[in-house]
Structure 1
Amino acid sequence: ARRQANGYRSYPEEAVLALRLIATAQRAGFSLDELRQLLPDDLEHWQHDELLATLRSKLQSIDLMLAQLTKSRAELNELIAQIEARPEDMDCASNARRVLSQMRLLGQGDEAGEPDQPRS
């Protein structure tokens, strides 16, 4: 990049385009390492098919993440509703047992036949 008389740098349009692409890709979830492997040093050497395949793969990952987040959100909302639905004559410990029992039953319905997986 050339320096102007005022000390500012002047970048070619291609460099500005590349920076915008990098910023957009980072917002979409790409790491700098992923981008480094994906993007060539200049626009003349882009691997069109590889780029499209990688972008489609990232979309699939985002869709899976969205589905999991949507499920987690619904489960948390249900948990909140169960906790808030405590009968007035029930103490907190009894309510906790009630909620845990209901969660266990709901978990069995969602994962029919699947053993509990340990979380890391």
Structure 2
Amino acid sequence: MKIGELALRTSLAPSRIRFYERIGLLKVVKRQANGYRSYPEDAVLVLQLITTAQKAGFRLDELRALLPDELAAWKHGDLIGTLRRKVQDIEVLQVQLAENKAHLLALLAQIEAKPADMDCAANARRVLSEMQLSADRGSRRTPV
């Protein structure tokens, strides 16, 4: 199939498909006598895998190392290991995001607790002072 049909079937721009080919992610491309690219059916699957993997957090360099030249040559154990590591990475990120969210919500609560008779500059000093006290208390804790 030509690049236009592949683009329609994968909802990717032809320039994106050529980019994936240029960086070595899409390796199943053949050239016709007239110079046009010709893609086999497997190209649809490969591009769908790339798109799905990117949505799951894989970087292009990770995908380049993961994708075999031929889909049938995929090493099951390597694939499972890579996917498990990515799940662990996402779980670590989720913990970090939850902590960041908690910090932001606490900061928001402090800012919103501005006394009615206090101007914004004084409230900012109050909030920063409370943040510093909280940080000092946290740094004095002894590790268990």
TM range (shorter): 0.7 to 0.9
Structure 1 ranges of 4+ moved more than 6 A: none
- 1:79-98 equivalences under 5 Å are 79-98=107-126
Task: Determine whether 1:74 maps to 2:106.
Answer: no
SS class of match (1:105): helix
SS class of match (1:58): helix
Q: After alignment, is 11-20 or 58-67 more displaced?
A: 11-20
- Cα deviation for residue 94 of structure 1 reads 2.5
Computed over aligned residues only, the root mean square deviation of the Cα atoms, in angstroms, reads: 2.3
- 1:7-46 equivalences under 5 Å are 8=5, 11-46=39-74
Q: After alignment, is 101-110 or 15-24 more displaced?
A: 101-110
Query: Percent identity, aligned pairs only?
Result: 55
Q: Counterpart in 2 of 1:48?
A: 76
The count of corresponding residues between Structure 1 and Structure 2 is 110
CA change 1:93–1:113 in 2 (3 A) is farther
Gaps of 5+ in 1: 115-120
Task: Determine whether 1:102 maps to 2:136.
Answer: no
TM-score (norm 1): 0.77
Gaps of 5+ in 2: 7-37
RCO (CA 8 Å, sep 6+): is it higher in 1 or 2?
2
